[in-house]
Amino acid sequence: MKTQILISGFGGQGMMKLGKILAEVALSQNKNTSWFPSYGAEMRGGTAHCFVKISDRHISSPFIGSPDIAVIFNQPSLAKFKNNFSGKTKVILNTDLIQKTQLPKVGKKVSCPLNKIALSCGSIKVANIIALGIIFSLTDKLMKRQIILSVLEKNFPNKKKLKQNLKAFSKGEDYVKS
């Protein structure tokens, strides 16, 4: 089993943190993983992306041609990566920052107002964790829920921030179910 994940958006939207959390969850499940960030010229506000691979086998390269899962936080990222999507790619789109969603044929598309839901959790900064909840709901057997919660607890030791992030994760799970 190998899963390739692309996460892309503006700097400051938490893509790198989401990628690191996915890699940490994979390592906690004794999987091989790689996390490969690519920052834009400007850190906060510039476009950036990361690739995460999770596998039962050795990972020879961190690069991804066609992702199994793509989390796209903004319009420039969609324009940059949409031609990499295949008929099997599960695409998560932040509809708060993406208006034009013309995509090639993909496996599944989840259009979600990540920013709006994040604000309802108390902070725009949890949009990435909503996406984590969506990824969890879209993929069976990739990650164990209890391990995700444990990794979130380690990454957010502040009780208020942890509470916001746990709420965001649940909102992402619920979004796919509804």
Mean per-residue pLDDT, 115-141: 95
Per-residue pLDDT reduced to its tens digit, 63-102: 898 999 999 999 999 999 999 999 999 999 999 999 877 7
Q: In the beta sheet, which residues pair with residue 94?
A: 112
Domain range annotation of the chain = 2-177
Per-residue pLDDT, 43: 55
Q: Which long-range contacts (CB under 8 A, 24 or more apart) does 159-168 make?
A: 161/123, 164/121, 164/122, 164/123, 164/126, 165/126, 165/129, 167/121, 167/122, 167/126, 168/117, 168/118, 168/121, 168/126, 168/127, 168/129, 168/130, 168/132, 168/133
pLDDT digits (tens, 9 = 90+) for 31-56: 999 999 998 765 556 679 999 999 99
Class of domain 2-177: alpha beta
